[in-house]
Amino acid sequence: MTALPTNVRDLGITRYEPVFAEMQTYTRARDDSSADEVWLTQHHPVFTQGQAGKPEHIFDAGEIPIVQSDRGGQVTYHGPGQITAYLLFDLRRLGIGVRDLVCGMEKAMLHTLGVFGVEVTPAKMLLVFMLTATKLDLWACGCGAAAVTTV
């Protein structure tokens, strides 16, 4: 496993579509010497509809745009106050698989919540993240990879 430094970028409050396009551009242009990155953002209100999503899954979007996504899952709401962490990691270079990444992120979240005095089991964490409708797809599925976003 050869890890390079990881850059963390705070993007502030952003629209979903340009960030997704920029992630695709970054991923296509990267090479073996490109650093892994974590992008932190809060999106303006938007519903993303994954591959399993159907129009009837959104009852009344009102003025909130609906963006079709190539990720798994059905519908996810993104909005201000929800911190989204996009992980742009070269898993091959790190010598890990998607499941390893997902489980590592789950353990990191459990540890972080514990530091703040919040005792959460993985099953309860799934419920917490789904109820708050955050875009933490890597964490919202526990150690399964059903909701992992790939770029």
111 within domain boundaries: yes
Which residues does 63 contact at the CB level (< 8 Å), separation at least 6? none
118 within domain boundaries: yes
Give the best-scoring range by mean pLDDT among 7-16, 28-37, 74-83, 142-151: 7-16
Q: How many domains does the chain have?
A: 1
**pLDDT class of 134 with cuts at 50, 70, 90:** very low
What does the DSSP assignment read for the chain?
A: --PPPEEEEEEEEE-HHHHHHHHHHHHHH--TTPPEEEEEEEEPSEEEE-TT--GGG-S--TT--EEE-SSSSSEEEE-TT--EEEEE--HHHHT--HHHHHHHHHHHHHHHHHHTT----HHHHHHHHHHTT-S-HHHHTTT--TT----
User: Does the structure show a pLDDT above 60 at 74?
Assistant: yes
135 within domain boundaries: yes
What are 87-130's pLDDT values in tens digits? 888 888 888 888 788 788 888 887 887 888 877 766 655 544 44
Mean pLDDT of the chain: 76
Are the C-beta atoms of residues 144 and 137 closer than 8 Å to each other?
Answer: no
120 within domain boundaries: yes
89 within domain boundaries: no
146 within domain boundaries: yes
104 within domain boundaries: yes
74 within domain boundaries: no
Residue 148 vs residue 89, higher pLDDT: 89
Domain that holds residue 123: 97-151
